[in-house]
Amino acid sequence: MTYTIQDIARILQVETDSTPPVIIQYLLTDSRKIVFPEHSLFFAIGGPRRDGHDFIREVYERGVRCFVVREGFDVSGFPGALFLKVQVVLKALQLLAKHHRNQFQIPVIGITGSNGKTIVKEWLYQLLQKDYQIIRSPRSYNSQIGVPLSVWQMNETHTLAIFEAGISTAGEMSALAAIIQPTIGVFTNLGEAHNPGFKDQQQKAIEKSQLFTNADTLVYAKDGLQNHLFPEGRDRQLFPVNAQMVSWSREEGATLLVKEEKKASLQTQVSLCYQSQNFTLTIPFTDRISIDNSLTCCTVMLAMGYSISVIQERLQVLEPVDMRMQLKKAINNCYLINDSYSNDLVSLTLALDFLQQQAGKQKTTLILSDVPESGLSEDVLYREIAKQVTERGIRRFIGIGPSMIRHQNLFAEEAPDLDARFYPSTENFLADINSQSFRDEYILVKGARVFSFERISVWLEQKVHQTVMEINVSAMVHNLKEYQNRLAPSTRLMAMVKAFSYGSGSAEIARILQFHKVDYLAVAYADEGVELRKAGISLPIMVMNMEEAGFDSLVSYDLEPEIYSFPIYTAFHHYLDQQGIQQFPVHIKINTGMNRLGFEPEDVVQLSGMLRAHQTMAVKTVFSHLVASESAEQDGFTQHQVGLFRQACTELENRLGYNFIKHIANTAAIHRNPEYQFDMVRLGIGLYGVDVAEGKGMQLETVATLKSTIAQLRKVKAGETIGYGRKGVVLKDSLIATVRIGYADGFSRKLGLGRGKMYVQGKLAPVIGQVCMDMTMLDVTGIPDLKEGGIVEIFGKNLPIEQVAAWSETIAYEVMTGISQRVKRVYLEE
């Protein structure tokens, strides 16, 4: 289905000129994700912190000529551009998507719930793809913006659509319901997510259920939902009178009754009853969440008329859904992005976005398998892929599979300068390459499961140590937005990436922060800033601990030093004067009570005189460091610090005759002391999911998860001892697990002798004996289903880092920054 910009103007009921029609294929809301500018329409959506109108110049310069903007926006200065002016840009996007959805009469499954939406969507795709040509939401595109972008992907080849809808506050679902218009509704469950946006659980259930007000069928998990969806006195009035209600439950009264569950090592046998017919399902998972999601999928298939035998056959081969792209260090200074989530055009676009975000200006390689069942003819499909590769500036392309071989000529036509190679199978590729084939580049590996691309990933990875720290990029972005939402629109944000980004990886984290448009970065020493510049980071960078040995690096790499004393000021002034440099940007530190670094407030008069006289430096910002902003008990001292800081800034500004950025609020103060935001705030450990403020209150997500594996399981008799010094005495016959982590990895010796624990198979297992350099022993007696090679969590979602810090008699900062560099960092994008 083709739209011109004039067609879209008519749909939105706005005027446009009669210029030659422009075909619109792509809808954009993000200035960083432009691939085909000549066929793109940019919606300048405003948000709490960013306004799309501020990026129109950037988007225009990158070739986009069609825009939807708010009424009153000044469109002068954009020759050749077409602007559709509307009252609310987001509503215009949703209206266009609603119109597009109305062009199709195919069945549409709409999914909502507190958890499990994406898993259920992906499993339904696995279960139904043999019978339908399916369009589905990419990853978790379920928001007010994500839903219309998902629905826009519908075309004439599709025979079934599966979309998910997520909301965070009352009043949001009606817009999504009008866009999705599901014929089959799926309500997964009702949990604690987004509770602050609703009066109570019932209001949240009723709001979410608005997605189904015109559905023909509603599938839901009765346990925990029945009383909310059908409160006394309401009965079915929330839903169409003739709607088919299909539920599953572990209690009587549901359409599908769970009678018994028997778990084995890798699967669960579930005995069920449906319409008086008893049958058994084999589900290839043992955890409760996966079983519940599988039963929801089973109920959907029953509601769609599938036979029990087909459901039994397909559910037993369900594959786990890894919703995360992984960024890992690889051979020869390469980085590997492994995306095994799915292999279609939409997910390829998202993976290429992540590749560009991480690689910056570094060389890039795409290893791609045949793309199965796209709904497009193969010529159209592979020509589109070739165009994507060209527009993205991919340096090298490796295509694997018989379809790739058949269509390699299309890549030569669309990308004549591309280094492209093609192989009929993964085996042929692995036989042809050697360890020198890849060097100093970013490699995206994306393949359909049948091609077993995990062998390519294993070959490319540097597998030297089974202890890894997973950094959840999506959680970090969530935390960033949580803090940004607390800021006034004009308040800038400086992100602290010192100490290897609190142990998380400097360059990798900085790229993410740059992509999400933070205003400043801060590092501890000049060499950290140099590393970021070499990695392609262009954001302004403040260096907090300047040394004379680093002066050359500061100037050569455009790093901005903190000036905290007269001796360091004088030394840097002499260096700049010798180099003939004037107005070099610097940051002035004022000591207001930390008594660590900084000028005293009374030094401002002398300092301002030197700055005016010398003119070698220009003050970019002035800042101070709060001592105890996390503590209510110290609020009086915090207020005292702010008063000193404000006086010093006023004095300095008056004497210099120009304005500068002021900042004193740290992570805790952003939340607890919003009145102290000034012009900028500094966000540190909160970015990584640790809320240090008393009373908490921030909805932060865990970013770092430290994992290792069990090297050996050993049965030990009562009276025997474990480890050095015979300190760990076994009081009864026990099972001991030796885990591949020790104090050389950053696991503190203070955690030995039972003080520390690790999370194993849903249980906390205490450390027994002393912590060794490379190994730690756990008492895992009574924990079922253990095996050598099994995963152990040292800290993460199940075992908070704050708890590990408490056991270690320290703070989360020290635990994070103390993780050794030999522990590989793996970056996950959900």
**Cβ contact 392:374 at 8 Å:** no
Long-range CB contacts (within 8 A, 24+) of 636-645: 637/593, 638/669, 638/673, 638/676, 640/592, 640/593, 641/592, 641/593, 642/592, 642/676, 644/590, 644/592, 644/593, 644/601, 645/590, 645/592
Measured distance CA(627)–CA(269) in Å, rounded: 57
Measured distance CA(694)–CA(669) in Å, rounded: 11
**Cβ contact 560:583 at 8 Å:** no
* Backbone angles phi and psi of 522, in degrees to 5: -135, 135
Measured distance CA(299)–CA(408) in Å, rounded: 43
- Side-chain-side CA neighbours of 224 within 13 Å: the count stands at 14
* Backbone angles phi and psi of 740, in degrees to 5: -80, 60
**Does the annotation count 750 as an active-site position?**
no
* Backbone angles phi and psi of 367, in degrees to 5: -110, 115
Angle (nearest 5°) at CA 480 between 478 and 484: 115
Distances (CA, A) of 433 to 405, 421, 428, 455: 18, 11, 9, 13
Q: Pick the catalytic residue from 446, 498, 589, 757.
A: 498
Q: Name the amino acid, one letter, at 429.
A: F
Q: Name the amino acid, one letter, at 31.
A: S
Q: Name the amino acid, one letter, at 719.
A: G
Distances (CA, A) of 296 to 117, 188, 786: 10, 7, 29
Please state whether 658 falls in left (phi above 0), alpha (psi between -120 and 50) or beta.
beta
**Does the annotation count 208 as an active-site position?**
no
Say which residue the tokens 């991919």 belong to.
394
Identify the CA nearest to 796 among candidates 695, 736, 708: 708
Angle at which helix 288-303 crosses helix 308-315, to 10 degrees, equals 150
Measured distance CA(76)–CA(584) in Å, rounded: 36
> Taken in order 93, 98, 102, 106, is the CA torsion positive or negative?
positive
Q: Pick the catalytic residue from 259, 463, 724, 787.
A: 724
Helix (H) or strand (E) segment spanning residue 584? strand 584-589
- Give the bridge partners for 50, in sequence order: none
- List of E strands, 156-275: 160-164, 184-187, 217-221, 244-249, 256-263, 268-274
- List of E strands, 640-696: 661-663, 680-683
Say which residue the tokens 């997510």 belong to.
193
The two three-digit tokens of residue 260, written as one number: 């018994």
Catalytic machinery residues: 498, 724
